[in-house]
Structures are given as structure tokens and as C-alpha cells.
């Protein structure tokens, strides 16, 4: 068994460990509320950038805080950082070693913003750069593709959102995350068979709302582990040009959960089906998509805002089995290193 598969299995325990530390985030939430920021500026790269997309939806919906994703090169190469003193600056980096993410957080602190580091290394440069640190406590991650550090980042983001604006129903749902993640393994055979049916070197992954982040993360995982040119789009944005690429048998993966965008996304797929693509469905709390070549449907019982936790695990298993079916090592993708330092 690969390290990637082992670390996928560790995720429920990591989530449980992190959720037990909810009180440790109280001071961070209090500082953010006291600062009354105009919004949240997030700096991230790679899988952490996909976690930032999730944070964008969650903080804007639950906390009504505008969220912007930083352009780190403005802080490094261009040496022209914007005025961010009125923002809360959140740096997300699993290693905490990304120089460009650190640069954004350092500048935010210099300007007087509340700065928060979300990282798996509490002794990292990113942790040292910020006022506050949320340690995701995922433990050593040996495989190059992120699994438990990605989902732990999502859990930490959800915890922070809850601390800023407490809600009894939401905190109860948070506590259900570990068991919901364990339930995904019951669908591994379906995901293995789905991987067997995905052929070729191109894949499109579509999602919307909270699971746009999941679509982005799945596309990244497929690219990393199987060298597939995978691209994620919002199901809405896809109609604004990219749909022209579709031809018969083109593989499209739909990532979906029940929510306000569900019906509209299904309408999009009704339109796409007329062009004859091979459609694969990975859903939580949804029904079978007519004409899908293969489906894996979860029933986590989580609200839409937390389904990126379960659907991320399903996406990881799909990527794992696609790599294995192609005779590739998902632990050590070619040319990639565990820590990437960009400026």
C-alpha cells in the first residue's frame, strides 16, 4: 500500500484531533472580530490555494466577510504591495516554507493588519511571520500529493469561521466530519472502477459553489499523480467559452452536492450530454446523473458547506486508483518535491 493511501486513511483521526483544539482558536477569532476588518486577504499556493477557494466561499457566506486572494508576486518581484492594513491577512501553507506566502503575511503585519498562519509546521517561517498560528496537526505527510494536510486545512478554516460567528447547528455538523470521512471508504470500489473507465490524457472537472474548490483540488491531484492534463472550471464559467473543447467521449468529472447551485448545474449537464462526452459523477447527497458512465454517491448528511471534506477524500481515492491503473507511483510523481519554494 502506498503512503498516499495510508495518509488518506488517516484523515478522520486528523480531523478529530484538530476539532478537539477548537478552544485554541478562540483568541484568533476574538482578535479578528475586535479588528473589524474590511475583509480577508488570503495568500496560498498549490493545494493550499484550493483551500483558499473554499475559505472564500465559507467566510463570505457564513461571516459576510469579503475575501480576496493575494497576488504574491506583487509583494516579492514587483515590490508594490497594496494597502492591506484594514484586512485580516491569512497565509495558508502546509509546510509553512513558501517564501511568497510568508512575504504577504509579513507585509500585512508590518502594515498593522491582523495576521494568521495556517500551517502544519508551528516552527516554520510562516508561523514566525504571523501574529497568530493555527497548527493543523496533521503529522508528517510522506507522499508528495497532499491529502491529510489539505482536508485538515479545510477543517481549520471551518473552525475559524465558527469561532468568528458561532452557530450551534454548524458546530454540531463540524463534529460529524470524522465519521463522514470514514464513510467515504465504503465507496472505494466504485471509485476504483471509475478510474478504470477514465482514459486519455485530458480531463475536465466541473464543480460549483463550495465544491469549486473540490473540483480544483481533484484536477490538481489527477495532474500530479497520473500526468493527466486536468482542468477545473465552475460549471457556470465552463459555458462561457471552454465548452467548445468538448467532443464525443471527452471525459468530464462532475463534483456536486445538494445546495442552491445544484439544479442549475444539472441543467448545464443536460446541455453537455447532447455533445456526447463521457460523464463521471462524484456527489454527496445527490441522485444519479442520467447517462453517467460511472457514479460514486456519498451520503454524509453534512451541510453543503462541509461536503468539500468528504468529496475531497473521494477525489483523492479516484486519483490514487487512476495512477495505479496506469502503472504509476502516486507517492512520488516525477519532477515534483514535497515542498515547493516560489517567490
Q: Which of 152, 122, 129, 117 shows the shortest CA–CA distance to 47?
A: 152
Any domain includes 330: no
Q: Of 140, 175, 210, which one is at a domain's C-terminal end?
A: 175
Any domain includes 343: no
Mind listing the pLDDT tens digit for each residue in 282-330? Answer: 999 999 998 899 999 999 999 999 999 999 999 999 999 999 999 998 7
Measured distance CA(187)–CA(330) in Å, rounded: 20
106 plus 209 within the same structural domain: no
Any domain includes 129: yes
Measured distance CA(33)–CA(47) in Å, rounded: 27
Measured distance CA(55)–CA(60) in Å, rounded: 8
What domain count does the chain have? 2
Q: What number of CA atoms fall less than 13 Å from residue 195's CA on the CB side? A: 26
**What is the reported pLDDT for 334?**
56
Nearby residues of 265 by Cβ (< 8 Å), 6 or more positions away: 206, 208, 235, 254, 256
Measured distance CA(205)–CA(230) in Å, rounded: 7
121 plus 60 within the same structural domain: yes
* pLDDT (mean) for 271-282: 88
Q: Of 175, 201, 224, which one is at a domain's C-terminal end?
A: 175
Any domain includes 239: yes
Does the pLDDT of residue 340 top 80, yes or no?
no
Q: Of 142, 159, 175, which one is at a domain's C-terminal end?
A: 175
Average pLDDT, the chain: 92
Domain that holds residue 67: 3-175
Mind listing the pLDDT tens digit for each residue in 116-147? Answer: 999 999 999 999 999 999 999 898 878 888 89
Q: What's 104's domain CATH number?
A: 3.40.50.10490
169 plus 194 within the same structural domain: no
Any domain includes 110: yes
Nearby residues of 319 by Cβ (< 8 Å), 6 or more positions away: 145, 218, 221, 222, 224, 225, 226, 330
Measured distance CA(243)–CA(237) in Å, rounded: 9
Mind listing the pLDDT tens digit for each residue in 210-247? Answer: 999 999 999 999 999 999 999 999 888 877 877 767 88
**What is the reported pLDDT for 343?**
57
Amino acid at each position: 500500500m502506498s503512503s498516499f493511501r495510508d495518509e488518506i486513511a488517516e484523515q478522520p483521526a486528523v480531523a478529530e484531533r484538530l476539532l478537539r483544539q477548537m478552544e485554541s482558536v478562540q483568541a484568533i477569532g476574538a482578535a479578528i472580530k475586535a479588528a473589524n476588518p474590511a475583509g480577508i486577504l488570503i495568500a496560498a499556493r498549490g493545494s493550499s490555494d484550493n483551500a483558499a477557494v473554499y475559505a472564500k466561499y465559507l467566510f463570505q457566506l457564513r461571516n459576510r466577510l469579503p475575501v480576496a486572494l493575494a497576488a504574491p508576486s506583487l509583494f516579492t518581484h514587483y515590490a508594490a504591495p497594496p494597502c492591506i492594513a484594514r484586512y485580516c491577512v491569512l497565509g495558508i501553507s502546509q509546510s509553512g516554507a513558501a517564501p511568497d506566502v510568508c512575504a504577504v503575511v509579513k507585509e500585512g503585519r508590518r502594515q498593522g493588519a491582523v495576521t494568521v498562519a495556517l500551517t502544519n509546521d508551528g516552527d516554520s517561517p510562516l508561523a514566525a511571520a504571523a501574529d497568530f498560528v493555527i497548527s493543523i496537526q496533521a503529522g508528517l505527510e510522506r507522499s508528495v500529493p497532499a491529502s491529510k494536510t489539505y482536508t485538515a486545512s479545510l477543517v481549520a478554516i471551518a473552525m475559524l469561521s465558527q469561532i468568528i460567528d458561532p452557530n450551534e447547528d454548524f458546530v454540531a455538523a463540524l463534529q460529524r466530519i470524522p465519521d463522514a470521512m470514514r464513510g467515504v471508504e465504503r465507496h472505494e470500489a466504485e471509485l476504483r472502477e471509475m478510474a478504470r473507465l477514465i482514459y486519455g490524457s485530458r480531463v475536465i472537472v466541473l464543480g460549483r459553489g463550495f465544491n469549486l474548490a473540490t473540483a480544483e483540488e481533484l484536477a490538481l491531484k489527477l495532474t500530479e499523480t497520473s500526468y493527466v492534463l486536468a482542468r477545473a472550471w465552475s460549471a457556470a464559467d465552463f459555458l462561457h467559452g471552454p465548452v467548445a473543447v468538448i467532443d464525443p467521449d471527452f471525459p468530464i468529472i462532475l463534483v456536486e452536492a445538494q445546495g442552491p447551485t445544484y439544479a442549475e448545474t444539472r441543467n448545464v449537464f443536460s446541455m453537455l450530454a447532447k455533445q456526447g462526452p463521457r460523464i463521471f459523477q462524484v456527489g454527496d447527497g445527490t441522485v444519479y446523473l442520467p447517462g453517467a458512465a460511472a457514479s460514486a454517491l456519498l451520503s454524509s448528511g453534512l451541510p453543503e458547506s462541509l461536503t468539500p471534506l468528504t468529496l475531497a477524500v473521494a477525489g483523492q481515492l479516484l486519483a490514487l486508483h487512476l495512477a495505479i491503473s496506469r502503472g504509476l507511483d502516486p507517492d512520488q510523481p516525477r519532477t515534483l518535491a514535497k515542498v515547493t519554494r516560489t517567490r
